[in-house]
Amino acid sequence: MSKKSSSAKVFKNSIIYAGSGILLKCFSFFLLPLYTSYLTTEDYGITSIVNSFLVVSSFIVALSLYSAVMRFYVDLKDDKEKLKRFYGTIVVFVLLMGVGAAGILYIFRDILSRYVFKDMDFYPVILICILSLVFYCQHAIYENVLKSQQKAKKYAIISICYFFLTLFLNVLFVVGFKQGAVGVLLAGLIGYIVYFLFFIIDMMKNDMITFCIDRSLLRDALKYSIPIIPHNLSTQLAMLISKVLIGDAASLGAVGLYSIASQFGNIADTIQNYSDTAYSPWLFEQLKEKNQGYKDVIRGTSKILSAVMGVFFIGIALFAQDYIILFLDKRYAGSWKMVPLVVCVFTIKIMYYFYVSVLFYYKKASKLLFIATLTSSLVNILLSYLMIPMWAAYGSIFADTCAMIMRVIIIVVISKRYEDIGLRIKDFLIRIAIIVLFIFLGLFFSYTRFEYEFNGLNFLYKILVVVIYAITVFIPYRKEIKAFLHRKRNIRKNDKTVKHI
């Protein structure tokens, strides 16, 4: 595949991943007014802690084999039978681990209730969480199968269908049966089971899986994935601990407000994740082929992607206030002030994604990830423990910011010592500074004059700020963007190898 066609593919997939992700987040946000009418802030606190626990537990139970699914596809894609055995081994092993973990958690349910799920009933809240863990682990495996194969369209369609399934179940249990937090958790459990069944049926139908435990493949996969556990786990573990500490220092209601703000921050993270989903497989190909000028191609692509991400980040930070005040219950109004700060943390994370992909490509380098993740996580947990009792949720955001800066610095240093792929620190620092500057310029009147009210002139001012930033993005990169759009129109005529895209 030519450099032009591969570059076009990464942008095309980025658009599909980000577009579908943003669409689903938008649907979720349009439904927030409905949910906040039926869910108290305490309900949001309960579901938030349970969801964080599922994420943290899944990394431990699955031993981060999700990451191995994406990386080993590059090596095994030319050997269909071996790839099928690899997929089957991962699925069976993780399923057995999930069942075993559920049994252990049930046995030690009293400890779980005392230290993690404080003030929550074991039946049915914690029990549903334990059962969900078994199938939740499989969810990420299928996602990474599709991502590694760069099947962006299929991934988007399945994600949208899954969203509407869980939406229907949530409306049924929360609005129809008025089950509150229990309804949300029950809808999640049913959704995970249905998704798992579809995953298995689809893999079997397309002859992509052989159910087995291939010890050799499993051993190689675990050698790659186990060192990554601290990397994948640390951020989510710190988040779970923060929520538990906020609940202890304030209340489950305070956790609920923090969760609302985090949902806006998660949009920013979704944009980064989907951009990385397209960028990482593309980068792996660039590093494998190392065609002439590949470093310039990588640097140019990273500059454009990070600049475009800024448009979304600024929009999220600026307009969260208007949405919360206009559409959510008054109990949630105070959550908007946390959103810009949360978005700024993810803005810092932009640099991290581009540099860490290098370590994911080199199997030996991936083992060094724990240095950054473990160090930053310990700092995060320590700062959370010290700051949350004083500043509640804002203490958690402060801890996240300090930990993210430390993590980025360590990852950049390790990545550049391992291999220089053309990225420049200065490019990212300038872009991050510009994004943060535009965020707080856009919120000047919101913080000083219109804290808890919607104002039309302030809204128009925010639009103007976003437009000005967009101009600063598209004017410098207009040639690259036009070239990309031109390639999309002519790619099938000029490159036969791109027919399968």
| Rounded Cα–Cα distance for residues 243 and 195 (Å) | 28
| Rounded Cα–Cα distance for residues 401 and 399 (Å) | 5
| Rounded Cα–Cα distance for residues 262 and 271 (Å) | 14
Angle ∠(370,376,380) on CA atoms, nearest 5: 135
DSSP of 69-133: HHHHHHHHTT-HHHHHHHHHHHHHHHHHHHHHHHHHHHHTHHHHHHHTSTT--IIIIIHHHHHHH
**Which residues lie below 8 Å from residue 359, measured CB to CB, with a gap of 6+?**
365, 366, 368, 369, 411, 414, 415, 418
Using the structure block, give the residue that is written with the tokens 């439904």: 31
**Which residues lie below 8 Å from residue 364, measured CB to CB, with a gap of 6+?**
none
Question: How is residue 454 written in tokens?
Answer: 């919607």
Q: What is the pLDDT along the chain (501 residues), one digit of tens a residue?
A: 445 455 566 667 767 776 776 677 667 767 788 778 888 889 989 999 999 999 999 999 999 998 899 889 988 988 999 999 999 999 999 999 999 999 999 999 999 998 899 889 898 999 999 999 999 989 889 999 998 888 888 999 999 999 999 999 999 999 899 999 999 999 999 999 999 999 999 999 999 999 999 999 999 999 989 887 876 787 788 889 999 999 988 888 899 999 999 888 888 887 887 777 778 878 888 888 888 888 888 888 888 889 989 999 999 999 999 999 998 888 888 899 999 999 999 999 999 988 888 887 876 776 677 788 788 889 999 999 999 999 999 999 999 999 999 999 999 998 888 778 888 999 999 999 999 999 999 999 999 999 999 999 999 999 999 999 999 887 877 776 565 445 445 434 444 443 344
| Rounded Cα–Cα distance for residues 233 and 96 (Å) | 20
473 close to 307: Cβ distance less than 8 angstroms? yes
| Rounded Cα–Cα distance for residues 234 and 414 (Å) | 18
| Domain layout of the chain by residue ranges | 3-495
326 close to 249: Cβ distance less than 8 angstroms? no
Angle between helices 80-107 and 65-76 (to 10 degrees): 170
